[in-house]
């Protein structure tokens, strides 16, 4: 994937620079392992490399009738700061707008901190080949110190274009914004460019077999 900036949970982690985020997933019968990285083409921090993050995710996803569920573990290997680890769980329901609840809990460097999201999405077929995907997300964050409040919201739109039998390209646009005055201060303080809202876009090229 290539994005105009790196936004994670509302925080802008690149300073007006394009990021390249390769990802590879291997899955079998609901179990999966994902390896993800971030390469900042013009990283703002000194004494760190442009390739500044590698995440490893182990997960399991299943379903019972219309109820979907999942659980996983994420290891964040970070350049310039301490690594950390999270466990998470998800619940979804297969109805209109596909409501999904997710809970992430830090068990390492930010032990006790958690992040909760609720999102909805819908896919609109365009002809027989393409799909337009729209989504909306709200979140709540507790850093286990002095911040706990509704955190950020995200509006997203993407369209998938199949290329042959195995490839596809998905351009997307996103808007992330603070949901409270406390969130504005926290997001500004934790972002590279002191903003609390971001409009950004990018594209993902996928190969699946």
Q: With beta carbons less than 8 A apart as the criterion, state whether 84 and 110 touch.
A: yes
- Look-up of token digits 């110190």: 145
Residue-level pLDDT at 116: 99
pTM for this prediction: 0.94
State pLDDT tens for residues 42-84: 877 666 678 999 999 999 999 999 999 999 999 999 988 899 9
Share of the chain above pLDDT 90, in %: 90
Q: What tens digit of pLDDT does each residue of 125-178 get?
A: 998 889 999 999 999 999 999 999 999 999 999 999 999 899 999 999 999 999
Model confidence at 198: pLDDT above 70:
yes
Q: Which fold has domain 2-207?
A: Porin (2.40.160)
Task: Give residue 43's pLDDT.
Answer: 77
pLDDT at 22 over 90: yes
Which residues of the chain form beta strands (DSSP E)? 2-3, 7-8, 11-12, 19-20, 23-28, 31-40, 51-64, 67-78, 84-93, 100-106, 114-126, 130-142, 148-163, 167-178, 197-207
Domain residue extents for the chain: 2-207
**Across residues 88-107, what is the average pLDDT?**
98
Give the C-alpha separation, 9 to 176, whole Å.
Answer: 8
For the record, the structure tokens of 179 come out as: 């949901």
pLDDT for 34: 99
Query: 86, 84, 111, 115: which is closest to 101 by C-alpha?
Result: 115
């Amino acid at each position: 994937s290539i994005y105009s900036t790196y936004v994670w949970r509302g925080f802008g982690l690149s300073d007006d620079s394009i990021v390249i985020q390769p990802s590879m997933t291997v899955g079998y019968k609901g179990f999966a392992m994902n390896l993800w990285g971030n390469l900042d083409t013009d990283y703002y921090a000194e004494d760190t490399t442009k390739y500044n993050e590698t995440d490893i995710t182990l997960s399991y996803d299943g379903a019972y009738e219309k109820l979907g569920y999942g659980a996983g573990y994420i290891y964040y290997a970070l350049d310039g700061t301490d690594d950390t680890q999270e466990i998470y769980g998800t619940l979804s329901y297969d109805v209109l707008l596909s409501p999904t609840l997710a809970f992430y809990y830090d068990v390492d460097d930010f032990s006790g901190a958690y992040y909760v999201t609720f999102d909805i999405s819908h896919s609109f077929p365009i002809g027989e080949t393409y799909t337009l995907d729209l989504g909306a997300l709200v979140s709540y964050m507790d850093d286990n110190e002095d911040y706990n409040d509704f955190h950020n919201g995200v509006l997203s739109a993407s369209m998938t274009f199949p290329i042959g039998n195995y490839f596809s390209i998905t351009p997307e646009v996103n808007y992330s914004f603070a949901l409270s005055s406390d969130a504005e201060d926290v997001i500004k303080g934790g972002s590279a460019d002191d903003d609390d809202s971001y409009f950004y876009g990018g594209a993902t090229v996928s190969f699946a077999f």
